[in-house]
Amino acid sequence: MSHERDPKRDGLAVARRRFLSAVAAGGAATGLAGLVRPAEAANPDNLPPNEPEWARMLGPGVDDRGYGLPSIYEKHVKRRWVPWLTASAESTVNFTPLQDLHGFVTPNGICFERHHAGRAEVNPEDHRLIIHGLVEKPLMFTVQDLKRMPSESHFYFCECAANSGMEWRNAQLNGVQFTHGMVHCVHWTGVPLRVLFEQTGLKPNAKWVLAEGADGAAMTRSIPMEKMLDDCLVAYAQNGEALRPEQGYPIRLVVPGFEANMWVKWLRRLEVGDQPWYHREETSKYTDLLPSGKAYIFTWVMEAKSVITFPCPEKPLDGPGYYSVRGLAWSGRGRITRVDVSFDGGRNWQTAKLQDPVYPKCLTRFEIPWRWNGERALLVSRAIDETGYVQPTMYELQKVRGVESVYHNNAQQVWEVKPSGEVENVRLRYVNA
């Protein structure tokens, strides 16, 4: 996503921070009560060893729900957005509730959404995929055509380049949903691009592909042909069912390990060319501004990153004792090989346990036991991927990238656990740095 506003520029940053603290604390004034825990009060009559009310009657029959919904006691598990971040609800983002997720798969209904012109509601009967340009034979496919072809299914994370983008200058948003929730991880099914280009054939100078969406934004990005032929998919399913409209129904591009902006939704056109197009989303947006005033362009790969999702601002601790500290790690370059966790702000590290399976370019769950003695603690995690790359501290990242950038913030996240058990997003100051 693109941020037109600099949160540091105006004095609103503090108010915003307070607002988000209130949100994280489940403050009723924000209309988001129950963010921390379900608001339902327990009924002592139902408590064992009593016979609860639901054990004394028939429940609804199987004709009750053709498509199931989560329990009414899980209503707090939902996407949330930050209205002041952008000018409208059509061109903005909402966030995956990472604090409420288990394992590494994101359920379809709570995958974060990022639209530049709102969610397109596409009738698959009226939709086609056109492939043209430097091909031997331009072709147009219906969605049905695509489903008849050989398919592949893979788990991949999809992370917006602007995930954690508000955190460059300082600790801003007090909740893991808001600092890291522009990522989801889904089991994608679709046709490999390789299969489609076998049918169209490619001219010798076919080096780049322009992917275009059918929404009002007509999202367009240039993608190297090499990547397309390697592991990209035209996906029509997520987690075993048709794509959700939010995720690009009926078809979207899946570009494993690359920034989510390139994963064009409601995909309608692939033009093959011999050079990139330098469209808006790869020049004025999604480039990384450096302190020199120059900018990196085509920084597609999402580097290794991790975050502790329990405890976190939304999930405080209940008091001293034993806990299983948990989190997620991922790398656009392949598999996560190790995650270290520190309880003292990065002075000492312990290696966490990675939960099977560990797939490449996919979220990986880590866990580590911790006995909290009730004192202030600074929790940090750092991911290491199969290339040997180590997730940097914010200090290390800023030394190279400055603070002007919005995109590709993969710095280590620090959570302060207070003696009360509350957890806050904080920034470490480096003495002697």
Residues lying near ligand MTE in the complex (CB under 6 A): 1, 111-116, 158, 160, 184, 213, 215, 217, 219, 246-247, 260-261, 263-266
Q: Is 17 helix (H, G, I), strand (E, B) or coil?
A: helix
Of 82 and 160, nearer to Co ion (C-beta) is 160
Q: What is the DSSP letter of 160?
A: -
- Residue 112 contact, options Co ion, ligand MTE, none, Cβ 5-8 Å cut-off depending on partner type: ligand MTE
Of 36 and 162, nearer to ligand MTE (C-beta) is 162
Stretch binding Co ion (CB under 5 A), from 107-115, 121-129, 235-243, 289-297: 107-115
Of 33 and 218, nearer to Co ion (C-beta) is 218
The secondary structure of 50-109 as a DSSP string is S--GGGSS----TTS-SS----GGGTT-S-EE-GGGSS-SSSEEEE--GGG--SSPPPGG
Per CB under 5 A, which of residues 240..299 are in contact with Co ion?
260-261
Q: Which residue number is nearest to ligand MTE in terms of Cβ? A: 213
HSE, CB side, 13 Å, CA atoms: give it for residue 386. 13
Closest CA to 308 of 279, 341, 276: 341
- From 16, 76, 114, 115, residue interacting with Co ion (rule: CB under 5 A): 114
The dihedral formed by the CA atoms of 109, 115, 117 and 118, expressed in degrees to the nearest 10: 10
Of 262 and 317, nearer to Co ion (C-beta) is 262
For the chain, the farthest-separated pair of C-alpha atoms sits apart, in whole angstroms, at 76
Cis peptide before 311 (omega within 30 of 0): yes
Distance CA 193, CA 255 (A): 10
Q: Take residue 4 and report the two structure tokens written for it.
A: 């037109």
- Residue 282 contact, options ligand MTE, Co ion, none, Cβ 5-8 Å cut-off depending on partner type: none
Per CB under 5 A, which of residues 119..178 are in contact with Co ion?
160
Judged by CB under 5 A, does residue 1 bind Co ion? yes
Distance CA 348, CA 366 (A): 18
Count residues binding Co ion (CB under 5 A): 5
CB of 169 to ligand MTE, least distance (A): 21
Q: Take residue 335 and report the two structure tokens written for it.
A: 């598999």
Closest CA to 247 of 154, 184, 178: 184
Of 219 and 272, nearer to Co ion (C-beta) is 219
CB of 223 to ligand MTE, least distance (A): 12
Of 257 and 313, nearer to Co ion (C-beta) is 257
Of 160 and 166, nearer to Co ion (C-beta) is 160
CB of 45 to ligand MTE, least distance (A): 43
Q: Which residues bind Co ion (CB under 5 A)?
A: 1, 114, 160, 260-261
